[in-house]
């Protein structure tokens, strides 16, 4: 009897659930699309951008494409797969560290580009890039807009995703969160100071970076995240960038610079208050050797010479230079006219100077600015190319000592260089093992590096008693491989400054009173390129467009807590072209049917 009651209870319960199931609206899964008849799109990416890959794949799936993910653990295995061509769409990124539009497009989209992994070879793209290079900012805006329209709207060579912010965490009990946050250039260490200035002399300032292997400390032998910040602060340059990527002389080795009419000749008036520093017993000491025009000429000549060193990584940035010389004829500066103002070069160069130029010398030991004896360097370019100045502000144009570099690099032949036994200037392994042969012109000297950290000490003779003299004596950068551990170390007070804050950690840090996350736009753009090599799926423009219009940028921005910005191309962060990427599934389907109609 009991069981009968029980039975009825369960019968009613069971039936109500079933009925409920029927009355609920059923869902049609992904609309059957013709695209599903295509072979699966092989998307290549790195595990560090797993979330982006997921979103990209998800959107293409929702548009009806078949998708296959290929996630590689690190950059080297990623680029190996990229070279084999076994992919259709590759998630990649580009940071324009020089802040000029030429650098934002040449290496990745020009047919000769060193990072043109998609094998884009389009004469019109090459033509537009070359044309824009010769133009001044007022004129090139239109050319670059045309280029952007052609690349994305007309040809859909890549899918733009977003541009990241530059986010840095400061422990505000130690330091005011008001330090410079440049858009492109590296951090300006010489301006860092503790709130309690007494600590500047005694307390090492501790920062962090992910890579513990530094490619090379010879500025021209590396151009990557492992050395960018370090090299920028140990080697000074003849020109600098403002936080908004405008070229300026302030904070560089020059008092002033001038562009002569025709945009082919560039003049720099050098300071005489910087000496090279070297390291003895893990301490920075003065070499007594001044950084002068001879070193600048030597530095730039080796930068533009493809064969000056083995593994020259930055030749592409400097190949536009023709001749670098020391100007000794004061008359030349009086007769040559500045490009935009029309006044003589000398007037532009001496603008704001306390002691006027009475004589020029080609011997750096003779230079004496207080008595009017100066040094001037002249750089000419092969074609009119105003953007050369941005490249001269790049870390790869950091001034090195002629005598020290020659001393080390004359011991071997560039052609027969053997990395296992020859030690060139800046060799990381040699420096790590204690043979610190560097002569450094920058505000800081690298004192030692081991598996855990790299340490710096201020250059004793770097623009002393000016606003550019380094404040904090010791700086240490700890190597912490992943952002989560770095974040924990920062929160526990183990490190003082977090150079890159992950989007997931920003809100957490912001919530704590002790920390401030400084945010600003940067030139880092993420995008996905189509493989254009012969025989690949995406050699067809209609199919590329179908994929392009299937991808929406808003989800990326939303998932990253609104801490990234929309982008249309690598140019978006540098020039306001007004272009915006709008996804449109109908358009996508339209192009797809066009593709099948062919």
Partner 1 sequence: MIKQEVHSGIEFYQKKVKKRKLGASLEFITAQLSWQFSGAISCVALLSAYNIITNALNRMALIISILFLIQFAIQYFVTTKISKEITSELGEVTSKTRKLGLLLIPFVLLGNFFMFLSGFMLIQKDKTIEYNLSVYSLLTSIFILLISAMNLFKDSVVETFALGMGIYGAYAIINLVTLIACSKWIQNGRINRKLLFFAILGLVGIITGNVFSFLMGLIILAKYFNKNSETSIEWIDVIRRLFKNYMSCIGMFIIVFLISVSIASLLTFDYDIATLNNYMALLQPPSLMYPFGTDELGRCVFTRIVFGARISLLVGLVSTTIPIVIGGILGAISGYYGRNTDNIIMRLLDILYAVPGILLAIAIIAAFGVSTMNLILALSIGGIPSYARTVRATVMSLASQEFVEAAKACGAKDGTIIFKHIIPNSLAPVIVRATLGIGSAVLSTSSLSFLGLGVESHVPEWGNILKAGSTYLETNPYIAIFPGLAIITIVLSFNYFGDGLRDALDPKLK
Residues in the site for partner 1, rule: CB under 8 A? 2-3, 5-7, 9-11, 13-15, 17-18, 20-22, 24-30, 47, 50-51, 54-55, 57-58, 61-62, 69, 71, 73, 484, 504, 507-508, 554-555, 558-559
**Least distance to partner 1, CB of residue 501, Å:** 14
Buried b (16+ CB within 10 A) or exposed e, 154-188: ebbbbbbbbbbbbbbbbbeebbeeebebbbbbbbb
Closer residue to partner 1 in complex, CB, 296/528: 528
Residue nearer to partner 1 on the CB measure, 24 or 492 = 24
- Structure tokens belonging to residue 365: 């030991």
Q: Which residues pair with 275 in a beta bridge?
A: 290
Distance CA 127, CA 221 (A): 29
**Least CB distance from residue 166 to partner 1, whole Å?**
21
Cα–Cα dist 575/582, whole Å: 19
Query: In the complex, what is the shortest distance from the CB of residue 527 to partner 1, in angstroms, rounded to a whole number?
Result: 19
| Least gap, CB of 482 to partner 1 (angstroms) | 11
Question: For residues 58 and 584, which CB has a smaller minimum distance to partner 1 in the complex?
Answer: 58
Q: Which residues pair with 90 in a beta bridge?
A: 44, 529
Cβ-based nearer residue to partner 1, 2 or 331: 2
CB of 58 to partner 1, least distance (A): 4
Instruction: Select from 267, 367, 250, 324 the least CA-distant residue to 358.
Output: 367
Minimum Å gap between C-beta 43 and partner 1 is 11
- SS3 of residue 314 by DSSP: coil
CA atoms of 386 and 499, how far apart (whole Å)? 31
DSSP line for 179-233: S---SSSPP-GGG---SSTTHHHHSPEEEEES--S---SSGGG--STTTHHHHHH
User: From the CB of 27, what's the least distance to partner 1, in Å?
Assistant: 4
List the beta bridge partners of residue 479.
209
Minimum CB distance to partner 1 smaller for 57 or for 528? 57
The residue among 73 and 262 lying less far from partner 1, judged by its C-beta, is: 73
Gap between the Cα atoms of 405 and 294, Å rounded = 13
Nearer to partner 1, 244 or 584 (CB): 584
How many Å separate Cα 283 from the centre of its chain? 30
Shortest Å, Cβ 189 to partner 1? 31
257 phi, psi to nearest 5 deg: -135, 160
**375 is written with which tokens?**
């040094």
With respect to partner 1, which residue has the nearer C-beta, 4 or 421? 4
For partner 1, the closer of residues 9 and 343 by Cβ is 9
Shortest Å distance, C-beta 214 to partner 1: 26
Cβ 551 to partner 1 shortest distance, Å: 13
Give me the phi and psi of 320, to 5 degrees please.
-75, -15
134 CB-contact burial (10 Å; exposed 0-12 / middle 13-18 / buried 19+): middle
Q: Which of 80/554 has CB closer to partner 1?
A: 554
- What is the closest distance, in whole angstroms, from the C-beta atom of residue 529 to partner 1 in the complex? 21
> In 6-33, which positions are buried (b, 16+ CB within 10 angstroms) versus exposed (e)?
eeeeeeeeeeeeeeeeeeeeeeeeeeeb
Tokens at 93, concatenated: 């990124």
Q: How far is CA 278 from CA 206, 286, 401, 404, in A?
A: 22, 6, 11, 10
- At residue 46, the 3 state secondary structure works out as strand
**Closer residue to partner 1 (CB): 331 or 492:** 492
């Amino acid at each position: 009897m009991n069981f009968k009651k029980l039975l009825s209870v369960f019968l009613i319960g069971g039936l109500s659930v079933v009925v409920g199931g029927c009355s609920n609206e059923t869902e049609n899964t992904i609309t059957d699309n013709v695209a599903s008849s295509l072979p699966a799109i092989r998307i290549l990416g790195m595990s560090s951008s797993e979330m982006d890959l997921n979103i990209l794949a998800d959107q293409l799936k929702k548009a009806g494409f078949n998708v296959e993910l290929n996630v590689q653990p690190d950059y080297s295995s990623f680029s190996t797969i990229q070279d084999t061509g076994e992919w259709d769409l590759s998630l990649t990124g580009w940071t324009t560290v020089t802040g000029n539009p030429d650098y934002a497009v040449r290496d990745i989209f020009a047919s000769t580009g060193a990072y043109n992994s998609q094998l884009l070879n389009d004469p019109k793209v090459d033509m537009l890039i070359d044309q824009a290079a010769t133009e001044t900012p007022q004129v090139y805006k239109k050319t670059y807009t045309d280029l952007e329209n052609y690349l994305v709207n007309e040809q859909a060579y890549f899918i733009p995703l977003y541009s990241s912010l530059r986010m840095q965490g400061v422990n505000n009990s130690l330091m005011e969160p008001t330090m410079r946050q440049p858009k492109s250039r590296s951090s300006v260490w010489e301006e860092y100071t503790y709130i309690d200035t007494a600590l500047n002399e005694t307390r090492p300032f501790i920062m962090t970076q992910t890579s513990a292997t530094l490619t090379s400390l010879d500025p021209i032998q590396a151009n990557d995240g492992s050395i960018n910040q370090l090299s920028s602060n140990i080697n000074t340059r003849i020109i600098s960038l403002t936080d908004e990527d405008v070229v300026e002389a302030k904070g560089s080795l020059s008092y002033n610079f001038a562009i002569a009419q025709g945009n082919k000749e560039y003049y720099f008036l050098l300071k005489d208050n910087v000496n090279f520093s070297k390291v003895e017993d893990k301490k920075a000491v003065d070499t007594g050797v001044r950084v002068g025009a001879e070193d600048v000429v030597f530095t730039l000549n080796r930068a533009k010479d493809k064969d000056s060193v083995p593994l020259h990584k930055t030749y592409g940035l400097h190949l536009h230079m023709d001749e670098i010389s020391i100007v000794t004829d004061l008359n030349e500066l009086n007769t040559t006219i500045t490009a935009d103002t029309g006044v003589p070069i000398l007037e532009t160069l001496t603008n704001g100077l306390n002691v006027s130029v009475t004589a020029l010398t080609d011997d750096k030991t003779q230079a004496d600015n207080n008595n009017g004896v100066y040094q001037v360097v002249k750089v000419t370019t092969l074609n009119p190319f105003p953007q050369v100045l941005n490249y001269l502000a790049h870390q790869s144009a950091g001034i090195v000592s002629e005598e020290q570099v020659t001393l080390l690099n004359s011991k071997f032949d560039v052609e027969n260089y053997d990395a296992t036994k020859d030690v060139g200037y800046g060799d990381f392994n040699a420096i790590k093992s204690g043979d610190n042969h560097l002569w450094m012109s920058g505000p800081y000297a690298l004192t030692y590096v081991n598996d855990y950290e790299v340490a710096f000490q201020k250059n004793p003779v770097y623009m002393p008693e000016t606003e550019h003299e380094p404040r904090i004596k010791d700086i240490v950068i700890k190597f912490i491989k992943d952002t989560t551990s770095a974040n924990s170390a920062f929160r526990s007070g183990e490190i003082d400054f977090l150079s890159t804050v992950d989007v997931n950690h920003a809100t957490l840090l912001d919530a704590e009173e002790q920390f401030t996350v400084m945010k600003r736009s940067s030139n880092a753009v993420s995008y996905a390129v189509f493989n254009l090599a012969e025989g690949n799926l995406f050699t067809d423009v209609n199919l590329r467009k179908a994929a392009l219009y299937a991808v929406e940028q808003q989800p990326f921005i939303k998932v990253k807590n609104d801490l990234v910005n929309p982008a249309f191309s690598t140019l978006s962060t540098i020039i306001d072209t007004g272009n915006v990427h709008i996804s449109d599934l109908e358009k996508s389907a339209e192009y797809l049917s066009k593709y099948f109609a062919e």
